[in-house]
Amino acid sequence: MGESHAMLGHWFYLHFTENEGMAFGMRLGGNYGKVLLTLFRIVAVVVIGWWLVRVSRKGAGTLLITSISLILAGALGNIIDSVFYGLIFSESSFTQVATLFPPGGGYGALLHGKVVDMLYFPVINSHYPAWVPFAGGSELLFFSPIFNIADSAITSGVLLLILFQKKAFSPLTTHAATPKEESITQP
C-alpha cells in the first residue's frame, strides 16, 4: 500500500493505494457507512443507466450519450471494486502486496471492498518562495489526488456536460420541410 513507480519524469507516478471511501479518501461512518455508500453507488448506476437508455431512445446527440456513458462506465468500475475487491484479495500493507484469491478468503465481506487508485500527477512539486506570507518556504504541491481510470471517466463525462451543456441538452429538433418563400418576379 502506498508503493510508487515514476513513469514519466517526476510528474506522473503509478501509486498503489486503496481508497476505503469516497473521493479524496473521505469515509462514511464504519461498516454501515461502507455498505450504505456501496448501495448508493449501485442505485446511482441504475438511475444513470435508465437515463442513458431514455435519452438514447429519444435520439439524443452523441455528446450527451458519450458523457452519460463515461459517467456510467466509471461508476460501474468503482462499484466492481467496492463490491468484490474485498472478497477476492487479501489485505495489503506497506510490507505485503495483496494476493488474488487467498486461501482463507479476502479481507472483507460483500459490499465492503476498497477502491484501488493508482494514478498520481504531482504537476508542480516545489516550494513557495520565502517572500510569500504564511507559506514562504513550505512545500507547494499542485494536484495531489490519487485516482483511477474510473474516476477519470466520471470526471471527463461531468466536465463534458458542464462545458458543453447547451449543446448536450439542446432539444432534439426535427426540421420538417418548410416551404421556402419564393419571390415572384414580374417580367
Q: Which residues are catalytic?
A: 117, 151
The answer for residues whose C-beta is within 8 angstroms of residue 51's C-beta and 6 or more apart is 68
* Start-to-end Cα distance in the chain: 88
The torsion defined by the Cα of 103, 108, 110 and 114, in degrees rounded to 10, comes to: -120
Q: How many degrees, rounded to 5, is the angle at CA 72 between CA 151 and CA 171?
A: 120
Of 78, 86, 150, 80, the C-alpha closest to 113 is 86
Contacts 24+ apart (CB under 8 A), 90-95: 92/1, 92/16, 92/18, 93/1, 94/1, 94/2
Q: Is 126 helix (H, G, I), strand (E, B) or coil?
A: strand
